[in-house]
Amino acid sequence: MKLNERHLMQLAAVLDAGGVSEGAAMLGLTQPAVSRSLAMLEARVGEPLFLKGRRPMQATPLGAQLAAQGRTIITASRKASDAVQGFLKGTKGIVRVGGVPFFMDAMISRMIGEFQNLEPEVTIQQSYLNLPEMVGALQGDQIDLGIVPIGVLDLGPGFEFTEILPGRNIVACRPDHPLLRNRRLRAHDLTSFPWVAPLPGSPLMSDLQMILMSIGMSDLNIRYSGGSLMSVINFLAETDALAVLPFSVVFAQRKENRVTVLPYEIPQPNRSLGILRRVGAPRSPAAERFAGHVTTAFENLKHIIKRHENAVVWGR
Amino acid sequence: MKLNERHLMQLAAVLDAGGVSEGAAMLGLTQPAVSRSLAMLEARVGEPLFLKGRRPMQATPLGAQLAAQGRTIITASRKASDAVQGFLKGTKGIVRVGGVPFFMDAMISRMIGEFQNLEPEVTIQQSYLNLPEMVGALQGDQIDLGIVPIGVLDLGPGFEFTEILPGRNIVACRPDHPLLRNRRLRAHDLTSFPWVAPLPGSPLMSDLQMILMSIGMSDLNIRYSGGSLMSVINFLAETDALAVLPFSVVFAQRKENRVTVLPYEIPQPNRSLGILRRVGAPRSPAAERFAGHVTTAFENLKHIIKRHENAVVWGR
DNA sequence: CAGCTTCATAGCAAAATGCTATACAAGCCG
DNA sequence: CGGCTTGTATAGCATTTTGCTATGAAGCTG
């Protein structure tokens, strides 16, 4: 006994509205159309669905049961329409962001918070990925966009990259680190303190190698590795250890005053933080909106950084 | 953005089945039909719903959202079909029974229990009604059937009545009542004990009047009134009070041995317990099934009563 | 590269949907 | 009680949708 879903919806509307004409109006149909639908439904079922001669119209128990299903169909249909509307406007849906751990923790998570204040109906699914996995995730459509530092030339075909912040690394330490008292730092000053190693696979790892080479050492005194940003900062704040970190990550922590920049020039990677997307991916307005938000947030951040640098001498 | 519910269902089926052909088969359609539906849906939405070139087929986030609604539509539709099926077979649905309080408590409630063991998917809504309200409730389609003692001629037009048990009242008392020791009871024996009045509006009320007239007294020593059957029985069991009760009601309590029949002949009302229905009412197979169950249950009861009467001398 | 599987498209017939116009029924009022 | 109002059912017709078969196109596999 397969019933026509449209008929069920019309049944529900008619009972909710109290009459055929009203129910038809509620659905944007004419009264005869609905009248016939009901007759067909009743014929199909073979049982009366209405109590005759009642205003407002009332259902038999069976009619009421069917109307209940009709109502859920109506609401499901309406939800589907809403989902599309919201999707098109970018005010609804899911954004799946992958990002390198430190940036996600230091900056993106805050921006996600801001974004959700603007678009409370958008859900953000965050995942921690470094470049290789991110490429796979984008191709496999597991994420909508990635936030990753990338060399300008590393971009494979089929991907687009929008830069949001030039890469710039610094050596971080706690604010009362003994090296900050030195007028002029030498390479061997750095090697006499323990170091924190970045997460394996992260771009900072290769940066650290570059620094090693520039200092002319083959290895550092690695005392801590594998920690997330919060762990690293906690570790740095408690010890005299040093770490290579993106400047912006340290900058984002300035209010907490737990880590600062050691004024020592290190070689800079030819990399930029940016948003990585697959060109063929099904577009998601919510994701684009989020990407826009992140971009402007970093744009603002650049200005703040500039003002800050003019006012503050780091490491003092 | 109104979407076609049928399309949503097909989308859900295709994603659940993992392919267009499989989804079409699941719905009993051909592959091209579903293929076109999906194309139409996608065109209407204006966004891709599938990730191209994947086996099994995978949805974009938006597609997944729409499919979720499609699934709820499918299940709603299936529930509606089930409701009809169950209704036609009488194995599903709601039966709304009205009945006079004492019969409902003493007998019908047990039968409802038995019936539910047979038809666990039928819901019974019981309400306590005496004849006048019952007529109103039947006409207003608040109940499907009423169980009520009724004079054969009291039947109004538009109602049908199927007798299930001839009316027979007795005087009830507790098993160790002093009157049970009397060889031969006289009318004035009865008046020397307190009485329990039936619920106002119940047919027993007029029966009590008849008894009064036959005894030749104008009133009795009414000491308790307004109680439900359980209250009345509790009261009778604790006191030497007497009450007019239908024989079958007392019979149904025989196992508990808290009340018994006082062997005193009283005038019998020209009434029968039966099932009252409105002729024009929308038929409800579940209700009919229930009515049948009650009828046969009483049929069995008659035999048990007959056997019991041959074996037992009441009030001994 | 042939063969298999699966999705997309074309073309056509049948069903359904929706509309306007109109008939029918019930309740209300002078 | 006859007409008026309100509301539902039916008729007739045009349009859209749906479903089918047949066939083309694309991707995977041995």
Q: What is the pLDDT of residues B166-183, one digit of tens each?
A: 888 999 999 999 999 988
Whether A316 is covered by a domain: the verdict is no
For strand D, is any atom closer than 7 Å to the CB of A20? yes
Q: So what's the pLDDT on residue B314?
A: 52
What number of C-beta contacts closer than 8 Å exist between A and B? 129
Domain end residue (candidates: A48, A71, A87): A87
**Banded pLDDT at B313 (limits 50, 70, 90):** low
Indicate if A17 and A61 belong to the same structural domain: yes
Token pair 């026509």: residue: A4
Residues of A in contact with B72 (CB under 8 A): 72-73, 76
* Mean pLDDT on A142-153: 85
Two structure tokens written together for B95: 């039966």
For strand D, is any atom closer than 7 Å to the CB of A19? yes
**A88 contacts B47? CB cut-off 8 A:** yes
- Using alpha carbons, select from B274, B246, B271 the residue that is nearest to residue B153: B271
> Which range, of A21-25, A164-168, A305-309, B257-261, averages the lowest pLDDT?
A305-309
Indicate if A194 and A258 belong to the same structural domain: yes
**Banded pLDDT at B299 (limits 50, 70, 90):** very high
**A58 contacts B69? CB cut-off 8 A:** no
Indicate if A258 and A173 belong to the same structural domain: yes
Q: Give yes or no for residue A247 having a pLDDT over 70.
A: yes
Q: Does A69 touch chain B (CB under 8 A)?
A: yes
Q: So what's the pLDDT on residue B260?
A: 94
Kindly report, residue by residue over A35-57, the tens digit of the pLDDT: 989 989 988 888 888 887 666 78
Kindly report, residue by residue over A264-288, the tens digit of the pLDDT: 889 898 889 999 998 877 778 889 9
CATH code of the domain containing A284: 3.40.190.10
Please name the nucleotide lying closest to B37, CA to C1'.
D18
> Which range, of A100-114, A282-296, B102-116, B212-226, averages the lowest pLDDT?
B212-226
Q: So what's the pLDDT on residue B101?
A: 87
- Give the rounded percent of residues in chain B with a pLDDT score beyond 70: 96
Output the distance from B35 CA to D19 C1' rounded to whole Å.
12
> DSSP secondary-structure letter at B157?
T
Domain end residue (candidates: A65, A87, A109): A87
Whether B152 is covered by a domain: the verdict is yes
* Mean pLDDT on B20-48: 89
Indicate if A37 and A186 belong to the same structural domain: no
Whether A52 is covered by a domain: the verdict is yes
Chain-centre distance for alpha carbon B64: 44
- Using alpha carbons, select from A151, A149, A171, A167 the residue that is nearest to residue A265: A171
Q: How far apart are CA A11 and CA B188, in angstroms?
A: 66
Please name the nucleotide lying closest to B56, CA to C1'.
C6
Residues with CB under 7 A from strand C: A 4, 6-7, 28-30, 32-33, 36-37, 40, 53; B 19-22, 31-32, 35-36, 38-39, 55, 57
If one compares B45 and B139, the residue with the highest pLDDT of the two is: B45
User: Total structural domains in chain B?
Assistant: 3
Domain end residue (candidates: B89, B104, B138): B89
Output the distance from B61 CA to D24 C1' rounded to whole Å.
31
Indicate if B73 and B107 belong to the same structural domain: no
Whether B297 is covered by a domain: the verdict is yes
Q: So what's the pLDDT on residue A245?
A: 93
Kindly report, residue by residue over B50-78, the tens digit of the pLDDT: 887 666 788 888 889 999 999 999 999 99
**B51 contacts A65? CB cut-off 8 A:** no
Indicate if A107 and A159 belong to the same structural domain: yes
Whether B316 is covered by a domain: the verdict is no
Name every residue whose Cβ is closer than 8 Å to that of residue A36 and which is 6 or more positions away in sequence: none
Q: So what's the pLDDT on residue A74?
A: 93
Q: What is the mean pLDDT of chain B?
A: 86
B251 CB burial (10 A radius; 0-12, 13-18, 19+):
buried
Name every residue whose Cβ is closer than 8 Å to that of residue A54 and which is 6 or more positions away in sequence: none
Whether A304 is covered by a domain: the verdict is yes
Indicate if A184 and A253 belong to the same structural domain: yes
Q: So what's the pLDDT on residue B309?
A: 73
Structural domain including A230 reads 169-262
**Cβ neighbours around A76 below 10 Å, total:** 25
Residues of A in contact with B76 (CB under 8 A): 5, 8, 69-70, 72-73, 76
**B60 contacts A282? CB cut-off 8 A:** yes
Kindly report, residue by residue over A175-203, the tens digit of the pLDDT: 999 999 988 888 888 888 888 888 877 88
Indicate if A193 and A230 belong to the same structural domain: yes
Indicate if A127 and A57 belong to the same structural domain: no
Q: Give yes or no for residue A138 having a pLDDT over 90.
A: no
Indicate if B9 and B84 belong to the same structural domain: yes
Q: So what's the pLDDT on residue B276?
A: 92
Indicate if A102 and A245 belong to the same structural domain: no
Indicate if B248 and B286 belong to the same structural domain: no
Q: So what's the pLDDT on residue A131?
A: 87
Q: Give yes or no for residue A316 having a pLDDT over 80.
A: no
Go through chain B and tell me how many residues it has: 316
CA distances from A301 to A116, A119, A230, A272 (A): 19, 21, 21, 15
**Cβ neighbours around A86 below 10 Å, total:** 19
Nearest residue, CA→C1' of D11: A32
Kindly report, residue by residue over B258-268, the tens digit of the pLDDT: 999 999 889 89
* Mean pLDDT on A206-233: 81
Output the distance from A291 CA to C7 C1' rounded to whole Å.
34
Element (H, E) at B241: none
Q: So what's the pLDDT on residue A312?
A: 59
Whether A257 is covered by a domain: the verdict is yes
Q: How far apart are CA A299 and CA B144, in angstroms?
A: 72
Q: Give yes or no for residue B316 having a pLDDT over 50.
A: no
Q: So what's the pLDDT on residue B244?
A: 92
Q: So what's the pLDDT on residue B190?
A: 85
Q: So what's the pLDDT on residue B315?
A: 45
Whether A268 is covered by a domain: the verdict is no
Q: How far apart are CA A242 and CA A223, in angstroms?
A: 10
Kindly report, residue by residue over B127-151, the tens digit of the pLDDT: 888 888 898 888 778 889 999 998 8
Please name the nucleotide lying closest to B55, CA to C1'.
C6
CATH code of the domain containing B47: 1.10.10.10
